[in-house]
Structure 1
Amino acid sequence: MDNSRLALAVSFSPDSQGRLPSPLRTARFSYTYIFGDGDRRERSLSPMFAVSSLISSHPTAAVALFAGALFLGMWKRRDRSTLPLLPPGPKKFPLVGHLFVMPSGRQWETYTVWSKELGSDVIHLDLPGTSIVVLSSMEAAKELFEKRSSLYSDRPNLPMLVDLMGWGFSVAFMKYGERWRAHRKLLHDGFNTSAAKQFHTQERAAAHAVLRRILRDPHSSCGDVVEHFRHMAGALVMDITYGIDVREDEDPYIRVAEEAMYGMSVASIPGAFLVDSVPILRYVPDWVPGAGFKRKAKEWKKFASDLVEVPFKETQRNMNLGKARPSFTFTNLRRLELEDNTETDKTKREAAIRAAGANMYAAGSDTTVASLGTFVLGMLLNPEVQQKAQAELDAVLGPGQLPDFVDEDSLPYVSAIVKETLRWRPAVPIGVPHYIIVPANSVIIGNTWAILHDETMYPDPDMFDPERFLLDGKLNEEIRHPGAAFGFGRRICPGRHVASSALWITIASVLSTYNIGKATNEDGEVIEPTYEYFLGLISSPLPFKCSFTPRSAQAVKLIRSTTQ
């Protein structure tokens, strides 16, 4: 009989102030294999190698290792009793805190309910190894993300997204520091309020193109139209960012962006993957039962890599052939060629340009599509809103004319619809977590949904009501702009000006030429649309039925007259 056995130990030391360090980053793991004859073999491992080494030879030991790490994460929580008074939170359980009451979906709505029940716009959630602070008012968000932005602009470690999926290029997930500032500056210079106006020509052309695509598809359902919106948004971003034309159907660039953004949207929700709470799990071999997240990360990483590299290299190739069109990437690469930089600086700058382009390529298209889908739902629920907008468009434009950016000030009702679309169902209902130092291993989240559904600012917030932004037929500047839909402080979306203008011209163009209505079945019965949303960082409507019908023969003629 073999009496060999395995002993596992986890050791750690308190820091200079007597506090326990994070066991998932600094603990030392050791195991001793004791043979039947009494011979002992010992090995000490850092977390980086512990799991992968042990699982390959001793799966049972690996399970014990994980349990030990999780226990230490819980043990650390004992120190929190000495911290200053934390914001209120729902009832929690010993050791595991709020683990068993955390919502599995639509977290923003649950956080909003808790905030109301607790009578606090700041709430605290305690999880093993992680502490979450949720801000549910604009006042709280401004206080921390704007007035104290130097303290609250960092990002937590994101093992799934950054380490495993390769999203370290994204300014949304990048740690706060010099690298982030350099990348952010590139995006700000290229897409600030003034610079964004240079893209009006492309935005107008993209809006006209989607009108033609809908017209060519006489049996368009809403699912088809959303795909047309996706093509439009992807084509616009590819043109602005890289000067690249996309295919009319099944474009590979649009597909890459769609797949990459899907993975990112799923993985960026707090608690979606255990590896974000127990980072050592990122070293688990792919073949281990329960390591499906590693295999999924590898699949998604390919799309993230293509997102960064493929269109950038195509722009470089076009530049070398002398046929590149002006674009964000072209302009910055040409400027780099003319600058006197060391090779090291040139490499860093080129990497920043490559990453900045990928940021626009990824986020710019997906959030626009989500907002346009929400706009359509708003029209289906409120046909009177559509009629008022069309009356305004007809009065201002007259027959034979499509809306343009010069008409924006004369179309306040249409502008109010755009604002209400951003507010009613924000494309990003809960912000990307910010990292904070106290409590240890904590993140702070802006609850965009709660802020944009604040009843004191927006009465009857669940109603789609553009008139909340109007007073005496003009935009009411006293009503807070739903800019929270684009984020807060130094982490606000750098492409928001381009996104807003693209949204405005598309909505105005669609309303001026099409009637949006509910679909009917073969028996002529009305099909009520579903109002369900994809639950991820970017929240977009799930497929639903509707119809797009040209408003008149004049509208058809007008659509066909746009440049092909």
Structure 2
Amino acid sequence: MSSVWLITLLLTVVFLIIKRSRRALRLPLPPGPRRLPILGNVLDVPTKDMPAAFRALNAKYGDVVYLDVLGQPMIVLGSHQVATDLLEKRSANYSDRSASPMVEIAGFSWALTLQGYGTRWRRHRRAMHQFFNANAVLEYAPSQRLETHRFVRQLLDKPEGFLHHIRHYFGSSIMRISYGIAVDEEPTDYIQIAEDTLAIFSSVFVPGKFLVETIPILRFVPAWMPGAQFKRNGREWTKIVYRLVELPWKRAMDAMKDGIGTVPPSMASGLMENIVSGGLSAEQQAEEEEVARNATAVAYSGGADTTLSTVQTFFLAMASYPDVQKKAQAELESVVGPGRLPEFSDQDALPYINAVVKELLRWRSVVPTGVPHRSMEDDEYRGYLIPKGSIVIANIWAYSRDPEVYPDPETFKPERWLKDGRLNPDVRDSETTAFGYGRRICPGRYFAKSSLFMVVSTILHTLSITAPVDENGRTIPLSGKMTQGLLSYPEPFECVIKPRSSAAEALIRATAVES
């Protein structure tokens, strides 16, 4: 049995190499490390600290680097300009995703981020856009404000649990909007379900981690065979992942059946009302309900976990850069004053707070190498061939550290975004990289940005965040290290959180009650 699989594997690799070689006769491939027979550049694909390793490859070979991973072409883009040229300006060719067998094996076929570019993806994207476009997000302002005030109250009551409170804040906020569910009133831990799912997502979908992504025929290997641990893990992953897709949706649908007039408005109820009133056949209704269920799960999982990383980074930055915190608080005192909390209507009058948010998005990348794109047809760029089916990687982490654009990039410096007391439009906006490129740009970016503004402004107006001290009263420096994976988070750290004044504490406790 094993010899048959080995022969099949070798024939597949040889076929792919011959296919690529014929294509390469027309145009040269981009530069890259020397390729070995059969293996290609499989040994050059980094297995740890991937963003820095890719940046080193680009520094050595140029802005467009070619890697051949057992016949699978991989293109590493070394600058924001190149990523814009291909993923934005030629998005019709670069909006696909690699058809990784791990999507099915790990149970993520519902995830918009991983779906191939086509009709199915457009239907899911349309459902997301309906509830998370710039105008739709304005309607969520009261809910975001309420959840933020509750979040800050939790920080007052138990500041040592700030990491848990951050998770609860985002899970609670997006659960209300996605499903109309108040998580504090539910026996099911929906927030933990989302966290478990995103942990699997981050671990599984690192480019090149599983050989089956390069040689798809390996997906047929029986789970009991040596080397098929990915199949055995997949069975357990799928059980966890589908709890996120099925459980909150069922809860929302049950609530609608019990009495639609009493169900809080949500993405789930809105989509289902449209389906029921759309005059569709039973088969069409079933198809549309699947799209609605999947899209709502995407909204919940993304909102519950990805922006969480940036808020963790906010606490890390404020504890590490006290002067930044003081400047932000001075602006809030001047504009908002001591008698109330920040509102969304204050945003235009708070340029330093806006600069802090932009710097948070730049300083620590949540998706350091992005979710890889895939070229749908052969393409020519700068005289080089980019073969059809290439995995295309945008190194967002490296772009955010370009010293020519962002001098002293490792320092948290909101001032880089300002000129004469206003946001400087000449500085490349961190949003242009942080949320991805082209037609694959994050559909929840407007919700994420408004959440960040409300959290940052409210916390800085009411609380003080400092680094811990040792027994001698000396500040303990925070490492600022990030976890590795497709999604990246600050490694666990401690900080000291206190109310800025008794008046600020009273203000939060008075407003953290739902009307």
Q: CA RMSD in A?
A: 1.9
- Counterpart position of 1:285: 222
CA-CA distance at 1:250 after TM superposition? 9.1
| 1:423 paired residue number | 362
Question: SS at 2:264's partner residue?
Answer: coil
Structure 2: distance between partners of 1:97 and 1:173: 26
2:152 is matched with 211
Return the TM-score normalized by structure 2: 0.93
Q: Deviation of residue 242 (structure 1)?
A: 0.5
Per the TM alignment, residue 90 of structure 1 is displaced from its structure 2 partner at its CA by: 3.2
* Aligned equivalent of 1:508: 457
* Cα distance in structure 1, aligned partners of 2:506 and 2:495: 23
Query: What residue is the counterpart of 2:94 in the other structure?
Result: 152
Q: Which 10-residue stretch deviates more, 411-420 or 120-129?
A: 120-129
* Corresponding residue of 2:169: 232
> What amino acid does structure 1 have at the position aligned with 2:246?
E
Separation in 2, partners of 1:506, 1:275: 41
1:441 Cα offset (Å): 3.8
Instruction: Tell me whether 1:131 sits opposite 2:73 in the alignment.
Output: yes
In the superposition, relative to structure 1, how do residues 368 and 297 fare at CA in structure 2: closer, same or farther (>3 Å)? same
Partner residue of 2:480 out of 531, 538, 559: 531
CA deviations 1:321-371 (Å, max 9, x no partner) are 113210111111112211111222212211111111011111112111110
Residues 146 and 60 from structure 1, CA distance in 2 versus in 1: closer, same or farther, beyond 3 angstroms?
closer
Q: 1:451: Cα distance to partner?
A: 2.2
**1:417-466 Cα distance to aligned partner (Å, 9 max, x none):** 00000011121111211112332542112221222222222222222111
Who is 1:463 aligned against? Answer: 411
- The reply on whether 1:184 has 2:121 as its aligned counterpart is no
Question: What per-residue deviation string (whole Å, max 9, x for no partner) do you get for residues 46-66 of structure 1?
Answer: xxxxxxxxxxxx345445544
1:392-423 CA distance string (max 9 Å, x none): 11111111321110111111101100000001
Alpha-carbon shift at residue 92 of structure 1 (Å): 3.8
Q: How many residues align?
A: 501
Q: 1:201 aligned to 142, 147, 154, which one? A: 142
1:328 and 2:270 equivalent? no
- Residue 110 (structure 2) aligns with: 169
SS in 1 for 2:184: coil
- Relative distance call for 1:59 and 1:148 in structure 2 (3 A) is closer
Aligned partner of 2:40 in structure 1 is 97
- Corresponding residue SS for 1:264: helix
- Describe the SS at the equivalent of 2:151: helix
Identity %: 40
- The structure whose RCO (Cα within 8 Å, separation 6+) is larger is 2
Q: Is residue 258 from structure 1 mapped to residue 195 from structure 2 by the alignment?
A: yes
Mapped contact 1:74–1:96 kept (Cα < 8 A): no
| Match in the other structure for 2:209 | 272
Is the contact between residue 320 and residue 467 of structure 2 (CA under 8 Å) also seen in structure 1? no
Report how far residue 273 of structure 1 moved: 1.2
Contact 1:519 1:527 in 2 (8 A): yes
8 A contact 1:226–1:369 mirrored in 2: no
Distance 1:63 1:396, change over 3 A: same
- Asked whether 1:374 is paired with 2:313, we answer yes
SS in 2 for 1:113: helix
Any unmatched runs of 5+ in structure 1? 1-57
- Asked whether the equivalents of residues 136 and 447 of structure 1 are also in contact (C-alpha less than 8 Å), the reply is yes
Question: Which of the residues 393, 399, 404 maps onto 1:445?
Answer: 393
> Taking structure 1 as reference, are residues 68 and 523 closer, same or farther at Cα in structure 2, changes over 3 Å only?
farther
Give the structure 2 partner of residue 395 of structure 1.
334
Question: TM-score, normalization: structure 1?
Answer: 0.85
For each residue in 1:492-512, what CA deviation from the matched residue of structure 2 results, as whole angstroms up to 9, or x when unmatched?
011100011001100111111
In 1, the alpha carbon distance for the partners of 2:67 and 2:284 equals 43
- Provide the secondary structure at the position in 2 that maps to 1:548: strand
Q: Rg: which structure is higher? A: 1
Secondary structure of 2:59's counterpart equals: helix
